[in-house]
Structure 1
Amino acid sequence: MDMDWTAIQQAALAGLIATGVIDLAGWARARWFGIIGPDWGLVGRWIWGLGVGRLVLRAQDKKTPAIPQERMLGWVFHYAVGIALALGFCGIDGFNWLTQPEPMVPTLYGLATVALPFCLMQPSLGAGFAARKTPNPTLARVNSLITHGVFGFGLYAGSLFLNLFQVGL
């Protein structure tokens, strides 16, 4: 089977753009509404812990001094997940969303990806399934839904960008 490397590169770029859209929206939400986003340093610390067999970041792990480069590792992980989710979308919808941008399907896909933080990241970071151990689980869940909806819209925006500037077409 031949791989369409151009389409894969386009999807990866759209994933980078979508993740950047999340971060821009997160910056705006923090600045204007005081809603603080994820601590990518803790995500990096969790990843380092995986290397020593620790699947869940414990409360005492959060209080220890920072591990060198943990924040950078968390940010790299964040963008790598954005790329992986964009490529995963290609497995569901093919590459049509890259060449024929429309907002609904990518946004719905983005909303569906909220299963990842609910089922994996939040429990792994000690917040419990769907952030049930946080001080305000409903707010955490709504913020996750907003973020992942923005990611899906960012996939659409990324595909528009690729088409507008004919990147790799």
Structure 2
Amino acid sequence: MLEVISRSLVIGVGATALLDLWALFLNRAFGIPLANWAAVGRWFAYLPRGRFAHDTIAETPPVQGELAIGWVMHYLIGVLFAAIVLLLWGLDWARYPTLLPALIVGVVTVGCGWFILQPGMGFGLAASKRPNASQVRLIGLINHIVFGFGLWLTAFLAR
């Protein structure tokens, strides 16, 4: 179990860091806005208070440390998704990583954003309330494919 935890940490942090570098590239090259980790942190901070959905997260009062909460949760979720790969495909996957399992988890996990986070923040299912919903969906899918690639690459480099 300790090996699952340690490999999940390394692979999840590595894949999430690659995703963040990708987002920075998209921002610098194409003007795609960076994720608002303070808003994400605000959403997470309200969960223990029993509030799972907001009309719009921007209208919800800020909480102390929301930016840090958002960044920490971003990386913890990356670690959790890495653990899912290891739990489904086993530690042998981490020892001899293949791309397909990582891409499957990357693609499937876009649903967490589309069906949990975005509706909870007031953006509708799969960002349906956003004026640029199709763009948000496409970028989200591409980002999760990049994250899946990052799972594989980090596992490959760490084996």
Do Structure 1 and Structure 2 share a fold, with TM-score over 0.5?
A: yes
Matches within 5 A, 1:27-106: 27-59=24-56, 61-63=57-59, 66-106=62-102
Unpaired runs of 5+ residues, structure 1, are: 164-169
SS at match of 2:49: coil
Larger Rg: 1
Matches within 5 A, 1:1-169: 3=1, 5-59=2-56, 61-63=57-59, 66-163=62-159
Contact 1:16 1:83 in 2 (8 A): yes
Give the TM-score of the pair, scaled to structure 1: 0.88
Contact 1:107 1:152 in 2 (8 A): yes
| Partner Cα separation in structure 2 for residue 67 and residue 45 of structure 1 | 6
Report the AA paired with residue 101 of structure 2.
V
| Partner Cα separation in structure 2 for residue 53 and residue 104 of structure 1 | 37
| Partner Cα separation in structure 1 for residue 52 and residue 62 of structure 2 | 18
Report the AA paired with residue 30 of structure 1.
N
Q: Percent sequence identity over matched residues?
A: 34
SS at match of 2:63: coil
Contact 1:127 1:133 in 2 (8 A): yes
Query: For each residue in 1:100-142, what CA deviation from the matched residue of structure 2 results, as whole angstroms up to 9, or x when unmatched?
Result: 1222221122111111111101101111111111111111110
Give the TM-score of the pair, scaled to structure 2: 0.93
- Give the structure 2 partner of residue 166 of structure 1: none
Unpaired runs of 5+ residues, structure 2, are: none
SS at match of 2:131: coil
